[in-house]
Structure 1
Amino acid sequence: MRIFRKKPFLIAGIGVNFFDIAQREEISDMEAAKMMVLEAKRCGVDAVKFHSFKADTLASKNSPAYWDLSEEPTTSQYELFKKYDKFGKEEYRELAEYCRELDIMFLSTPFDFESVDYLDEFMDIFPVSSSDLTNIPFIKYIASKNKPMLLTTGGATINEIRQAVRTIEDVSTVDIAIIHSISSYPTDYVDANLLMIKDLLESFPDYEIGYSDHTKPDLNMFVLTTAYSFGADIIMKHFTLDKSLPGNEHYHAMDPNDVLVFRSNVSFLSKLLGMRNKQPLICESSARRHARRSIVADKDIKKGEKITFGMLTFKRPGTGITPAKIDDVIGKTALEDIAEDTLIDFDMLE
Structure 2
Amino acid sequence: MKIRINNRDIEANGDYVYLIAEAGVNHGGNIEIAKKMIQKAAKAGADAIKFQTYKAEKLAAKNSPAYWDKTKEKAGSQYELFKKFDMFEKSDYELLERYCKQHNIDFLSTPFDHESAEFLNELMPAYKIASADLTNHPFLKQIANYHKPIILSTGASTIGEIDEAIRVIESEGNSQIALLHCVLSYPTDNKDAHLNMISHLRQVYPHYVTGYSDHTIPDQSLMALNTSVFLGARIIEKHFTLDKSLEGNDHYHAMDENDIRAFKNNVNIYFNILGEKFKRPLEVERLAVKFARRSLVATQSIKKGTTITEEMLTWKRPGTGIPPKDINLVIGRKTNIDINEDEILTWEMML
Same fold, judged at TM 0.5 (above): yes
Separation in structure 2 between the aligned mates of residue 101 and residue 338 of structure 1, nearest angstrom: 76
Instruction: Give, as a single letter, the amino acid of the residue that structure 2 aligns with 1:174.
Output: S
Q: Does 1:287 align with 2:291?
A: no
Letter in structure 2 aligned against 1:109: T
Where do residues 68-107 of structure 1 align in structure 2 (5 Å cutoff)?
68-107=69-108
Q: Percent identity of the aligned residues?
A: 50
Deviates more, 1:245-254 or 1:272-281: 272-281
Superposition deviation, residue 349 in structure 1: 1.8
Correspondence 1:92-241 to 2 at 5 A? 92-241=93-242
Partner residue of 2:13?
A: none
Shift of 1:57: 2.1
Q: Which is worse superposed, 172-181 or 123-132?
A: 172-181
Corresponding position of 1:32:
33
2 CA distance for matches of 1:337 and 1:73? 91
Per the alignment, residue 23 of structure 2 pairs with: 14
Structure 1 partner of 2:9: 5
Structure 2 residue aligned with 1:273: 274
What residue is the counterpart of 1:25 in the other structure?
A: none
SS in 2 for 1:324: helix
SS in 2 for 1:186: coil
SS at match of 1:216: coil
Any conservation in 1 of the 2:304–2:336 contact (CA below 8 Å)?
A: yes
Give the Å deviation of 1:12.
0.7
Q: Give 1:325 deviation, angstroms.
A: 3.1
8 Å CA contact 2:94, 2:123 repeated in 1: yes
For the residue of structure 2 that corresponds to 1:17, the secondary structure is coil
Q: Is the 8 A contact 2:290 2:319 kept in 1?
A: yes
- 1:273 deviates by 2.7
State the distance in 2 between where 1:183 and 1:228 align.
Answer: 20
Provide the C-alpha distance between the structure 2 equivalents of 1:32 and 1:256, rounded to a whole number of angstroms: 14
Q: Show the counterpart of 2:259.
A: 258
> What amino acid is aligned across from residue 189 of structure 1 in structure 2?
N
Q: State how far apart, in whole Å, the 2-side matches of 1:203 and 1:314 are.
A: 52
Aligned twin of 2:56: 55
* Superposed displacement of residue 157, structure 1: 2.4
Aligned partners of 1:331 and 1:2: how far apart in 2? 66
Q: Structure 1 unaligned segments of length 5 or more: list them.
A: 23-28
Distance 1:138 1:331, change over 3 A: farther
Preserved CA contact (<8 Å) 2:134 2:153:
yes
SS of 1:227's equivalent?
A: helix
Moved more, 235-244 or 257-266: 257-266
Cα deviations across residues 6-35 of structure 1 (Å, max 9, x unaligned)?
A: 72211111111112xx6xxxxxx2222212
Aligned match of 1:324: 325
User: 1-side partners of 2:179 and 2:328: how far apart?
Assistant: 56
Looking at structure 2, the residues matched to 159 and 272 of structure 1 have their Cα atoms a distance apart, in angstroms, of: 37
Mapped contact 1:147–1:174 kept (Cα < 8 A) = no
**Mean CA deviation greater in 218-227 or 235-244:** 218-227
More moved, 265-274 vs 233-242 = 265-274
Q: Once structures 1 and 2 are overlaid, which stretch shifts more, 170-179 or 291-300?
A: 291-300
Aligned residues of 2:52 and 2:111 also touching (Cα < 8 A): yes
TM-score by length of 2: 0.90
Give deviations 1:228-259, integer Å, cap 9, x for gaps: 23321211111111222211111111111222
Q: 1:225 Cα deviation (Å)?
A: 2.2
State the distance in 1 between where 2:135 and 2:300 align: 79
Deviation at 1:122, TM superposition (A): 1.9
3-state DSSP class of the match of 1:39?
A: helix
Deviation at 1:102, TM superposition (A): 1.9
Aligned residues of 2:302 and 2:339 also touching (Cα < 8 A): yes
Deviates more, 1:262-271 or 1:242-251: 262-271
Match of residue 316 from structure 2? 315
Deviation larger for 99-108 or 276-285: 276-285
Q: Distance in 2 between matches of 1:165 and 1:129?
A: 14
For residues 201 and 97 of structure 1, the distance between their equivalents in structure 2, rounded to whole angstroms, comes to 35
In 2, Cα distance between the equivalents of 1:202 and 1:326? 48
Q: Measure how far apart 1:264 and its partner are.
A: 2.9
Taking the aligned partners of 2:331 and 2:162, their CA distance within structure 1 comes to 64
